[in-house]
Amino acid sequence: MQGDEFSNFQKISSALREDCVFWLGTGDWVHSEVPQGNGLFYRAPNSPSENQDLEFTGPLANYDSLKPWLTDKCVPLVREITFENAEELTEEGLPFLILFRSVGDKLSEKIFQDSVANELADMKTSINCLMADGKKFAHPLHHLGKSEKDLPLIAIDSFRHMYLFSGFDKLNEKGHLRQFILDLHSGKLHREFHNGPDPTAPPAQHGGPEKVAVPMETQPPPSIFKKLKPSDSRYTVLKDEL
């Protein structure tokens, strides 16, 4: 087999092999199974019926439309980050939103996953939502000034700096997690780490806007996971660095 359609199938199935099982069928029997459309379907795991299959209606030769469609279906909103897949996750190029928790803390996992699903589903292409074993990933916690006793906690690693979420209990406040991500992309998190909170005082009635003294803050903790990002030369990362 050859052509753009087959080439795209090979590349995408290789990239998403950890998230989906891909099957390629050829021959007359395939046409009897999928008589309409272009023949590409997604079937959710444990789907009770073929009637719930989702069909890709775009051109198979268009990689730029096929890859996002399959990624959206195959890649869950929240994934587990490990020493084994961390390098691969950094290659996706998206900042990390990480829940550091004790393994087995199902309640914290559920609260985090529900918050991500309710508030960040439309941000899948701008943030990577992950869960990490706080004991194994003690090094990033140390850079945040935290330890295993402070779990669960949430932080962003932007591959430049690390930013700590204001408190796990804040997930109960609708919109708080979403605003955290918006503040990252707007540059507010970085700006406030350098200059303190943005001034919120209203303009003075006389003499123009009121000047607010803002104390300088310390530099935010440096990114830990940026060590895993590809460079111009070959790179290797040791587990004890994380």
* Residue 157's CATH number: 3.40.30.10
Instruction: Tell whether the torsion through CA atoms of 66, 72, 75 and 79 is positive or negative.
Output: positive
pTM of the model: 0.68
Q: Are residues 28 and 144 in the same domain?
A: no
Confirm whether 239 is domain-assigned.
Answer: no
Q: Are residues 122 and 67 in the same domain?
A: no
Q: In this structure, are residues 42 and 97 in contact, taking their beta carbons and an 8 Å threshold?
A: no
Q: Residue 68: what pLDDT?
A: 85
Q: Which residues contact 184 (CB under 8 A, 6 or more apart)?
A: 95, 127, 156, 158, 163
Confirm whether 161 is domain-assigned.
Answer: yes
- Domain boundary among the residues 23, 55, 74 is at 74
Q: Are residues 182 and 97 in the same domain?
A: yes
| 83 token code pair | 């020493």
Average of per-residue pLDDT across 60-74: 88
- Domain boundary among the residues 74, 97, 123 is at 74
Among 42-46, 150-154, 223-227, whose mean pLDDT is lowest? 223-227
Confirm whether 212 is domain-assigned.
Answer: no
pLDDT in tens, 6-34: 899 899 898 888 888 988 877 776 666 66
Confirm whether 206 is domain-assigned.
Answer: no
Q: Are residues 45 and 82 in the same domain?
A: no
Q: Are residues 35 and 137 in the same domain?
A: no
Q: Residue 50: what pLDDT?
A: 59
Confirm whether 106 is domain-assigned.
Answer: yes
Q: Are residues 110 and 32 in the same domain?
A: no
Instruction: Reduce the DSSP state of residue 21 to 3 states and report it.
Output: coil
Q: Residue 105: what pLDDT?
A: 96
Looking at per-residue pLDDT, the higher value among 234 and 100 belongs to: 100
Confirm whether 178 is domain-assigned.
Answer: yes
Q: Residue 71: what pLDDT?
A: 84
Q: Are residues 108 and 41 in the same domain?
A: no
Distance of alpha carbon 209 from alpha carbon 110, whole angstroms: 46
pLDDT in tens, 79-92: 999 999 899 899 88
Q: Residue 229: what pLDDT?
A: 59
Q: Are residues 222 and 167 in the same domain?
A: yes
Q: Which domain holds residue 190?
A: 78-199+217-232
- Count structural domains, the chain: 2
Q: Are residues 100 and 26 in the same domain?
A: no
Q: Are residues 70 and 107 in the same domain?
A: no
- C-alpha closest to that of 155 among 112, 126, 195, 119: 112
Going by pLDDT thresholds of 50, 70 and 90, the confidence category of residue 228 is low
Q: Are residues 135 and 224 in the same domain?
A: yes
- Domain boundary among the residues 74, 89, 123 is at 74
Q: Are residues 70 and 82 in the same domain?
A: no
